[in-house]
Amino acid sequence: MKAVIEYNSRKIEINVSEPLDISIPIDMNKGKVNAWGIDDPKIEVEKFDDYEVSVANGAVVNFNSIKFNPHSHITHTECVGHITKEVHSVNQHLKYFIFLAEVVTIAPLFHNGDFLIGVKQLKHALRNKKRDAIVIRTLPNLEEKKSMKYFNTNPTYLSEKAAIYLKEKGIKHLLIDLPSVDKERDDGKLLSHNAFWNTGGELRMDATITEFIYVPNTIEDGEYLLNLMIAPFENDATPSKPVLYKIIK
């Protein structure tokens, strides 16, 4: 089913029956992605007086409780409140959900013992394109990304200069297939978070970072319409389900 959306005075045609989901769910039946060394998430049947409330157990409904951390266990979208003393909720500051996005594939550079995404790579990928969002897929792009345990693994991260470039280019929404845009252990500097949200100046309250996405290899680099769906938690970060739509014209 095709639909035409007017976006910034441009008419964009997409096929809404062909969504490209780039989120990683919490799936208790499969390997679970995890970062920062905390316990795995839990989805458990709730009990009343030791009675498990599930249809399989004779109840009329299934009634599960869920315990998780969005930063550790699932695709999540965060706002500047993630790194500020003052409390800010992504649910309050993300007001729009449809964006023009560019999917780019980056082979990380090896620099001073780390793998990172550099500014020159992003400049080459984006060139003079004007986008609201960037979706970064890193190489190698293996299925194991959906179940990786990242604690003490020093994964790839975004260089500070690259984050500054994205901010200056006007990218409002940064999506990446890593646990963080920053180095796992950087003495609390969080250089790329701070640079992207401009904490040294006027805060970019409407800018977001989405981490732990997974972009299948079947999705080609290029221009897409992004639907950045979030769960309505009043928190600095919330589980999210970013979905791409290929632009027909």
Q: Is the model's pLDDT at 78 over the cut of 90?
A: yes
Q: What's residue 31's pLDDT?
A: 85
Q: Report residue 137's pLDDT band, with 50, 70 and 90 as the boundaries.
A: very high
Q: Report residue 188's pLDDT band, with 50, 70 and 90 as the boundaries.
A: very high
Q: Is the model's pLDDT at 171 over the cut of 90?
A: yes
Q: Is the model's pLDDT at 29 over the cut of 90?
A: no
Average pLDDT, the chain: 96
C-alpha distance from residue 150 to each of 25, 84, 109, 112, 202 (Å):
16, 24, 19, 20, 32
Closest among 68, 23, 25, 34 to 150, alpha carbons compared:
34
Q: What's residue 249's pLDDT?
A: 80
> What is the CATH number assigned to the segment(s) 2-32+70-246?
3.50.30.50
| % of the chain surpassing 90 pLDDT | 94
Residue type at 236? D
Please provide the DSSP assignment of 54-122 as one string.
-GGGT-SS--EEEE--HHHHS-EEE-GGGT-SS---HHHH----EEEEEEEEE-PEEETTEEEE-HHHH
Can you give the pTM of this predicted structure? 0.96
Q: Is the model's pLDDT at 24 over the cut of 90?
A: yes
Token pair belonging to 193: 């978070």
Task: Report the C-alpha gap between 126 and 174 in whole angstroms.
Answer: 13
Token pair belonging to 92: 């309050």
Rounded to an integer, the average pLDDT of 85-89 is 97
Rounded to an integer, the average pLDDT of 163-170 is 98
Give the residue extent of every domain in the chain. Answer: 2-32+70-246
